[in-house]
Amino acid sequence: MQDNLLAEFFKPGVELADLPTLFPLLRAREALNAFITLFRGGDDEVLVRLMILREIGARADAPRWSPQELRATFAYVDPTKLNTVLHRLRENELLVWDNDEAVYQISSAGRIALAAISTLLGFSEDEDAELGFITSQVAAGQAVGKVSVETLQHLLGRLNELQSEFEQAVLSASEFVIRAAQKKLGSVWRWVEKGTEIIRAITADEELDGATHRVAQAIGQAQSRMLRMTAVFQRTLNSIQSQRVHLGESGLTSTDIAAWLRKQPVDRLSPLTAGVVHAHPEPIFVTESEMLDVAEYELLEREREKHREAVIPAAQEAPTTGRVEAERLIFAESFRDGLGDIAASTPLADVVLGDNYALTAYRMSLLALLNDPESQALSGPVADIARLPLKLNIAGELAQVCRNGVAALSVGDVEPR
């Protein structure tokens, strides 16, 4: 009947045992039934069941209970309600009834449930009970050689959540938020340190499988990032403190005033604002400029994009880098040799004009290096050009050339120094 009810949650034809997420739960159904029995029903019923079962399990020297001992121990519980709870625990095999000796004792599933609940209650008063509880589970698994990947993933998830929370506190640039995050980091610090020792021991195990080892390494990295947050908090607080405003010689700062205001009730803050704020900004979220930009796009640009044709140019073979560099070297050497023949003032067009625009532009860029100290310190034809005893004179006017792909060229000349 339970299998039929469970199958109703899934689509027809799905084999429940083939689901990797459900199969571990089906395999541990007997242990899970203990928790289902304890926590099914209202809150009050659950609390009474837990109270009675924990009291029965707490007597370690004499774990077997007679009905008379149970009635005497729980004399403060209504007898009818007590019998109902005991019957439910016995019916669902959390309590075992021994007919020969007429006594109760806790079953193995009940002991497992009590141990888990006791561990959870031990961390209920801690500020970060979740991290402490998960770390204890990892430590217990490591101690007995049964490290659970699922538990490691829970620990990694909690560490990442805390890291994100601390980073958001730093980004807020609020001294109060950062100090609260710093205090929380201090409360979880001992669990991070204990977790570091445990993860170091886990990763040192050579028989650990790959998946578990990867999760353990990720936990170690997350713990390292969290340990660095102390310095990040302190640097941010120092930066905020340098921006504090001191109120005259009173010894008070803007931080003291803000802290005092945060502790005041709303009804006391209202009179303090009377006559202080005379005007408040009225933001205009939609202005004429933004409306015009949106209208221009919707009415014009959007229609143009619909009719615009994107034409991809034909494919061309990329030039070999070595060949291009060799050609440039040849052009530079030829230009250097030509400049070495200049013995008198020569017009700029006669010096740099080449067979095409590209060659002319290249010669013009080389000519600009004349007498450049940085270029002179190099080697090669470019450095030789920079060392030539020539001087470049350029005017602001342009002279019409209209040949070899060059329309106009700056007016100037090259003359010996």
Look up residue 161 and give its two tokens.
């959540």
- Domain with residues 127-239, CATH architecture: Up-down Bundle (1.20)
Please check the confidence at residue 272 and state whether its pLDDT lies above 70: yes
Interval 261-270: pLDDT, tens: 778 787 777 7
The predicted pLDDT at position 115 comes to 82
Cβ 237 vs Cβ 173: under 8 Å: no
Secondary structure (3-state) at 320? coil
**CATH fold of the domain at 2-121:** Arc Repressor Mutant, subunit A (1.10.10)
Q: Render 32-72 in DSSP notation, one character per residue.
A: HHHHHHHHSS-HHHHHHHHHHHHHHHH--SS--B-HHHHHH
User: Best-predicted range by mean pLDDT among 93-97, 323-327, 372-376?
Assistant: 93-97
- The domains of the chain are located at 2-121, 127-239, 323-416
Side-chain-side CA neighbours of residue 331 (13 Å): 21
Q: Two tokens at 279?
A: 């005007």
Q: Is the pTM of this model over 0.85?
A: no
pLDDT, residue 327, reads 65
140's tokens: 């217990």
Give the mean pLDDT of the chain.
Answer: 79
Question: What's the confidence (pLDDT) of residue 166?
Answer: 85
- Tens digits of residue pLDDT in 69-80: 888 888 888 888
Structure-token match 């490290």, residue found: 147
Question: Are 327 and 381 spatial neighbours (Cβ–Cβ below 8 Å)?
Answer: no
**What are the start-end ranges of the H helices in 273-387?**
288-296, 302-307, 321-339, 348-352, 357-367, 373-376, 381-387
Q: What is the pLDDT of residue 386?
A: 80
Cβ atoms 236, 173 nearer than 8 A: yes
Looking at residue 284, what is its pLDDT?
Answer: 63
Model confidence pLDDT, tens digit, residues 287-342: 777 778 778 878 888 777 777 666 666 767 765 555 555 666 777 777 777 777 78
Helices assigned H by DSSP within 123-228: 129-144, 149-172, 175-203, 210-227
Q: How many residues does the chain have?
A: 417
Mean pLDDT in residue range 354-377: 80
Q: What is the mean pLDDT of residues 351-356?
A: 82
Question: What SS3 state is found at 410?
Answer: strand
Round to whole Å and give the CA distance between 361 and 238.
Answer: 55
155-164, 168-177, 300-309, 352-361: the lowest-pLDDT one: 300-309
> What percentage of residues in the chain have a pLDDT greater than 70?
88
Concatenating the DSSP letter of every residue in 358-391 gives HHHHHHHHHHTTTT-HHHHTS-SHHHHHHHSSEE
Q: Which residue has the tokens 């803000």?
A: 258
Structure tokens given for 45: 């019923």
Contact 355, 331 (CB under 8 A): no
85: closest CA among 118, 117, 37, 43? 37
